[in-house]
Each structure stands twice: as structure tokens, then as C-alpha cells.
Amino acid sequence: MRISPLLTLAIVGLAHPAFAQYTKAAGQNAPVDAVPMAVRAADGKMHTEIVMRKPTPDKFGNAQGNDHDLAVDGAFKGQTVAVIQEYTGEGFDFSLPRAALKEKGFSVFRWSNGVPTPADLEKALAKSSQLWLVSGSSRMLTDAHVAVIKKFFEAGHGVYIWGDNEPYYADANFVAEGLLGTTMTGNVMGDQVVGVEKKVGGVGVLPNHLLTTGLENIYEGITIATIAPTKDLHPLIYGSADNLVAAYYDQGGKRAILDGGFTRLYLKWDTAGTSRYVKNAGAWLANAERFGAAVVATDATPITTMKPVGSVPAIATTTPPPSTPALPTTTATPTVEKPAVALRTLIGILVAAALSLGLLYAGSRWRRTHA
């Protein structure tokens, strides 16, 4: 059966994704670029050919440039990452992850040196695309907090649970047990860069997943905890000591990441891929595959400057380790591009109708010609 070129065009148009939030490198640890190259033919004439080349690597072997991240810059403009940061020692003010996430359009709404009330947490999560928890050494969250977080998670919103070496996983384990049925333990010396794993379950980062886009090498953290595997968790990073440092959950439209090495969010940040990994994690946890226009900016243009607001107060908690003052928190209401989506839908309907009429007209002409 011969398929009309018009019909082929219509089918391709229907199969094309509605949003271009991801780069061409998405899902490749070692992306390649299509590069035009002038070539002289046998007859002496010059012509252009497209060749695939590995991009220039940084000093750690990862492809340089934001076009080798998972998401295009500004793809999630208007979306908020809510952060509960219990540990703020060693100058950890979340400024480095904040700057990385901002490149993809995210703003950060952060509680530090304490936790919000369950009611305040629920209000903030209503305006957030995802929640990141950086655990402390003692329990600060309650059953009511976990109920709020679980409701958010069950609705399809991403959750990143960060712990570290013992005892800095108290609330990480409390939330991980409630959401994912697992915990982390121990204090393993890491402080190494690991590459792409060579065998399933071997040392290194998971090959060719959206989360590991553009990452051939990644820093594991300094002293790290080990995650207990489950049938529902997928290994993401195995550390140099063969321990499971990070794992992800992706089932039923719900996404979460569990990580035993939060030190890499502020120590040796410039070592092997941490910034890219944070950006990839934010993009993946936004869950555009489920929420579409509700989380993806339709233009993905360079992000605009966010207006800072005052710090968010936290309820009284146990005394945290000494830290430097937290930076001002920024917040933004998630933007739903309804008018643009409606216009795009109308245009799609008109194009489909035009194609259908064209196919009918072509068919009638063929019948008259061959009658």
C-alpha cells in the first residue's frame, strides 16, 4: 500500500511531542552533535555533509554547554521548587543549587533552620512543582508533615529526599519510609568521581537515562549513606565503595529520588557534573510527561529576573548545627499557559481539517482519472 505524502505528514505531526522541554541530548550520557562539514567530491565540487561529533568535554570528561543538559534553558519558567533544608552547617545556604535550577526557569522557596507547619507546607506545595528535603541529624517532621508530602507525591509531583552520612538522615528516612518503603544507613567514605557503570549494579552512574543526560562522570559526595534497595526503586548512582548512593522511583505517573550524599550540593560543587545533575533532577521531577502545559513554558526563552521576597519563618525546632545566614528566598506562582495552548490546539485542528480535505480532494481526482 502506498501512503500519500500528505497523510504521512499528518501522521508525523500527530506523533510529535507537544512540548520541546528537552534538548537533543536527552537520555544520552555521551551526546553527539550534528555538525555541518564542507566536503570536496570526486569531481572537485564542494558540498556540505552532516557529521556526528562528540562535543568538547570539560576537564572531567562531560560534554560542555547547557545544550547537553536534559532540559533547555528556561523550559520551566514560572515553576517553583519548595525546599525544606534542615541541615545548614558548613556554609550550606543552597545558593549553588538555586543558581543551577534558575537556569532552567525554576525559582526556589526555602525553609531553613527549621520546618514549616503542616498547614504552611501544604499551602506552599499548592504553588510548587516539586519538593526537596535536605535532612538533619534529628527528627523535625511529624506524621502530619508526611501525610501532606505523601498527598503531594500521590498527585504526581516530584519529591527529592536528601540524606547524608549517619546521623544526617533522620527525616530523610522518616519520609522515605512513608513514601517509598525504604531507608538509608551508614557512613561510607566516598570523595571520588565515578563514571558510567560498566555492568548492571556496578560502580558508576546509570547509563542513558533522562536523569543522567550529559553525565559520563559524576562526583559521589564526601561521606555518604547507603540506600537499602527495593523492587520499586531503580539504582541511579553506585558509589566507589559499591554502595547504592542514589536511586529513583518512577511508577504510575509518580516520581521521586532518594540520595545519600547531600554534601555534593555545596562541597566540591565544581567537581564532575553536580550542577548538571541538579538541573536534570529538577527537570525530571517536574514530570512534564504527566503535567504538560501546567509545568512547561511554551516559549522556553531565557529566564527573567525573579523578584526576591522575605525569608519564610519556620516553627521552633531542635537546635541545628551552626551555619551562615540563609539567602533571601524567592517564590513564584506556577504559570499555566492556557491561551497559548488553546491557540496551538485550534491551529492543529485547522491544519488537520485542511489535510483531510486535501486527501479527500486528491482521492476524488484519482477516482475520476481512473474511472
Domain CATH code at residue 175:
3.40.50.880
Output 129 or 14, whichever has higher pLDDT. 129
**For helices 338-370 and 5-15, angle between their N-to-C axes, nearest 10 degrees:** 160
Looking at residue 35, what is its pLDDT?
86
Going by C-alpha positions, the residue among 297, 296, 326, 323 that lies closest to residue 314 is 326
Looking at residue 176, what is its pLDDT?
98
238 CB-side CA count, 13 A: 17
- What is the distance between the alpha carbons of residues 339 and 54, in angstroms, rounded to a whole number? 40
pLDDT reading at 234 higher than 50: yes
Looking at residue 362, what is its pLDDT?
44
Contact predicate 227/208, CB 8 Å: no
pLDDT reading at 4 higher than 70: no
Expressed as residue numbers, the domain containing 182 is 66-294
Residue 106 is placed in which grid cell?
Answer: 525554576
Any domain includes 271: yes
Looking at residue 286, what is its pLDDT?
98
Looking at residue 1, what is its pLDDT?
39
In the chain, how many domains are there? 1
Q: What confidence tens digit (pLDDT) does each residue in 153-171 have?
A: 999 999 999 999 999 999 9
Share of the chain above pLDDT 70, in %: 75
Any domain includes 108: yes
Strand-pairing partners, residue 320, are none
Any domain includes 368: no
Any domain includes 331: no
Any domain includes 134: yes
Lowest mean pLDDT among 73-87, 171-185, 264-278, 313-327: 313-327
Contacts 24+ apart (CB under 8 A), 30-38: 30/54, 30/63, 30/196, 30/216, 31/55, 31/63, 31/68, 31/213, 31/214
**For helices 170-180 and 143-154, angle between their N-to-C axes, nearest 10 degrees:** 50
Looking at residue 47, what is its pLDDT?
84
Going by C-alpha positions, the residue among 336, 258, 249 that lies closest to residue 291 is 336
Looking at residue 336, what is its pLDDT?
34
pLDDT reading at 304 higher than 70: no
Any domain includes 338: no
| Average pLDDT, integer, range 204-227 | 97
- What is the distance, to the nearest Å, from the Cα of residue 77 to the centroid of all Cα atoms in its chain? 13
Lowest mean pLDDT among 13-17, 265-269, 284-288: 13-17
Looking at residue 343, what is its pLDDT?
43
Any domain includes 32: no
pLDDT reading at 347 higher than 50: no
Going by C-alpha positions, the residue among 230, 240, 119, 155 that lies closest to residue 191 is 240
With H, G, I as helix, E, B as strand and everything else as coil, classify residue 194: strand
pLDDT reading at 294 higher than 90: yes
| Average pLDDT, integer, range 263-274 | 96
With H, G, I as helix, E, B as strand and everything else as coil, classify residue 179: helix
- Sorted by sequence, the CB contacts under 8 Å of residue 319 that are 6+ apart come out as none
Any domain includes 29: no
